[in-house]
Homo-oligomer: A and B are copies of this chain.
Amino acid sequence: MRKPDAVSPALRVRVNAAVKELGYVPNLAASRLASSRTHTIGVIVPTLYNVIFAEYLFALHDILVAAGFHVLVVNSRYSQIEEENAIKALLGQRVEAIIITGTHHTPLSRQLLSQARLPVVETFELSPEPIDLNIGMSQENAGQTATQHLIGLGLRRIAFLTGNLDHRAQSRLDGCRLAMEQAGLRPAEIIARKPRHSSVALGSDLFAMTHESGDVPEAIFCTDDNLALGAMQECRKRGMRVPDDIAIMGFHDLEFAACSAPSLSSIATRRFETGKLAAERVLAALNSSRTPAAEQIDLGYTLIARESTAV
8 Å CB contact of A94 from B27, B93, B236, B258 = B27
Provided the pairs A49-B54, A51-B49, A73-B73 are in contact, do residues A88 and B259 lie with their beta carbons within 8 angstroms? Answer: no
A230 touches B256 (CB 8 A): yes
Chain B: CB-nearest residue to A236: B261
B70 touches A259 (CB 8 A): no
Provided the pairs A233-B259, A234-B259, A255-B200 are in contact, do residues A94 and B28 lie with their beta carbons within 8 angstroms? Answer: yes
Chain B: CB-nearest residue to A25: B91
The A interface, classified by DSSP as helix, strand, loop or mixed, is helix
Chain A 205-236, CB-CB to B under 8 Å as 1, else 0, gives 10000000000000000000000011001101
8 Å CB contact of A26 from B23, B30, B92, B236 = B92
Collect the chain B residues with CB atoms within 8 Å of residue A72's CB.
Answer: 72
| A112 touches B (CB below 8 Å) | yes
8 Å CB contact of A260 from B32, B115, B200 = B200
| A1 touches B (CB below 8 Å) | no
A111 touches B23 (CB 8 A): yes
User: Complex formed: what's the CA distance from A112 to B24 in Å?
Assistant: 9
How extensive is the interface on chain A, given as a class?
35 or more
User: Complex formed: what's the CA distance from A94 to B33 in Å?
Assistant: 14
| A304 touches B (CB below 8 Å) | no
Provided the pairs A38-B29, A72-B72 are in contact, do residues A233 and B258 lie with their beta carbons within 8 angstroms? Answer: no
| A167 touches B (CB below 8 Å) | no
| A311 touches B (CB below 8 Å) | no
Cβ of A308 to closest chain B Cβ, rounded Å: 13
Can you name 11 A-B pairs with beta carbons within 8 Å? Answer: A25-B112, A28-B29, A29-B29, A29-B33, A33-B33, A49-B55, A200-B255, A200-B256, A200-B259, A201-B255, A233-B259
Further 14 A-B residue pairs, CB within 8 A, beyond A25-B91, A199-B255, A200-B260: A25-B116, A26-B92, A29-B33, A29-B38, A48-B53, A49-B51, A70-B89, A72-B72, A73-B73, A201-B255, A204-B259, A233-B260, A233-B261, A234-B261
